[in-house]
Amino acid sequence: MKILCVLYDNPKKGMPKKYPLSKLPVIKKYPNGQTLPTPKGRDFKPGTLLGSVSGELGLRKFLEKNGHELVVTSDKDGKGCRADRELRDADIVISQPFWPYYLTREKMESAPNLKFAITAGIGSDHVDLQAAMDHNIDVYEVTYCNSRSVAEHIVMMIISLVRDYHNQHAIVNRGGWNIADAVHRSYDVEGMHVGTVAAGRIGLDALRKMKPFDVHLHYFDKHRLPKSVEKELNLRFHSSVESLVKVCDVVTINCPLHPETENLFDKKMISKMKKGAYIVNTARGKICNKQAIAAALKSGQLSGYAGDVWFPQPAPNDHIWRKMPHHGMTPHTSGTSLSAQTRYADGVREILECIFSRKQVRKEYTIVRNGELAGTGKHSYTKGNATGGSKEAAKYKRR
C-alpha cells in the first residue's frame, strides 16, 4: 500500500539533538478505563519529536519492512501541492489536526485507490465526512490520545487570560516595570462561574482540573452526565448553550466541529454572554465567527479570547485574530506536546496494524466505517461537511 502522511514542518534550527527530559511518566489507562494505544511494536523513543516531517510518526521502519510505501510531506495547500499529487494513487492518508490536510470531496474523487483516512490526534473535521461516507472511505482517529493535554492547555489559558499574564509578560520583555499597567485588567478566578460547551473527554477533564480553584462549574452537552458526576463536581447542567453563556464568566468550547456547531459563537450568541466574559476555544476555530470575536474584544463585550485553533490552519498571516486586542492565541499546540505525540504515534500504528491484518479497529477510534458514521463518530458528529473555505490555508506564507 501507499501511505501519504502530512505532518507539520521541522524546527527551523533542525531536529533536536537532545530533549529537556530523558523519559516520560508511564501511564497505562485514561480516566474512563480505556487503555492507551497498544501497538505490537514501536520504533521511536517516547518523548521525541514525532509530529514533524522528519519525525514521520515513527512509522517508516515498520511500513517499509512490511512492503509498504511511505511518503511524508508538509506541502499540503494550494494548487499543485505535493500532498495533492501524492494522494492520487495513495491507499491511506494520515494527517494531524494541527497541520490539517483538508480532505475535500474533490480530493477524494482524484484518488480512486483511497480507502482510509487517519487522524493522528483527535478531530476529523478536516475530512469531508459526508464525502467519505459517499465514497466508502473509512475514517479513524486516535481518540483520547491528547485529550488530557488539551485539558491542561485550557486551564493554562483560563488562568492566563483572567490574570492578564500575557500583558504582564510583555511588559517584562520590553524592559518595563509599571505595575499599574500590569494589573489593571488582572483578576482572581476564584468564585467565578466557569462553563464548558460539551462535557466529553476534554470538557469534563477541564472542569475537574478547574474545581480546586474554587469556581462554580457549569456544562452543556447533548448527552447529560451521570448524576454522580454532577454531585461530585457540584456541576450545574444547562439544556442549551444560551442558558450557559448567560451566567458564566468563562466559557470553554470543547465540542466537535460539524454543520450543527459551525459558527455557533456568532454576534448573536456573544451578545447573550455576560459583559466582560472570557472565551477559551481549543475545539475548532470555525465554531467561532472570527469577525464577531474580534469586534466583541474591541467593544468590551468580551474581556479576553484564548484560542488554540484557527480556521483555516495554518491561519493566513493577515488573519484578524493575530492582531485583535486581549487575545492569548497559540498555533494549535495544545494536543501535540511531546507526551501526546508518543500516544498518537502509537495509536496510528495500532490502527495501521489492524488495517493490514484485516482486524476491526477499536470502536473508540472509529469515525466512519462502511459508509456510515460509527463508533465515536456516531456519538460525536453529524452528517455533512465542515471543510468549506479551507482553501484559504494557501494564503499562509512561511516565515
The answer to whether 41 and 360 have CB atoms below 8 angstroms apart is no
SS3 309: coil
Is 136 part of the annotated catalytic residue set?
A: no
Task: Please identify which of the residues 126, 148, 201, 284 carries the catalytic annotation.
Answer: 284
Helices (H), the chain: 60-65, 82-87, 105-109, 129-134, 147-162, 165-173, 179-183, 201-210, 227-233, 241-247, 267-271, 290-299, 338-356, 376-380
> What counts of helices (H) and strands (E) characterise the chain?
14, 13
Q: Rounded to whole angstroms, how far apart are CA atoms 49 and 99?
A: 15
- Among 96, 126, 130, 146, the one annotated catalytic: 146
Q: Which of 168, 254, 313, 341 is catalytic?
A: 313
Report the distance separating Cα 57 and Cα 59, nearest Å: 5
Dist CA 207 CA 204 (whole Å): 5
**Is 313 an active-site residue?**
yes
Cα–Cα distance for residue pair 205/151, rounded to 1 Å: 6
Q: Which residues contact 323 (CB under 8 A, 6 or more apart)?
A: none
Active-site residue, from 332, 343, 362, 369: 332
> Which residues does the annotation mark as catalytic?
146, 284, 313, 332
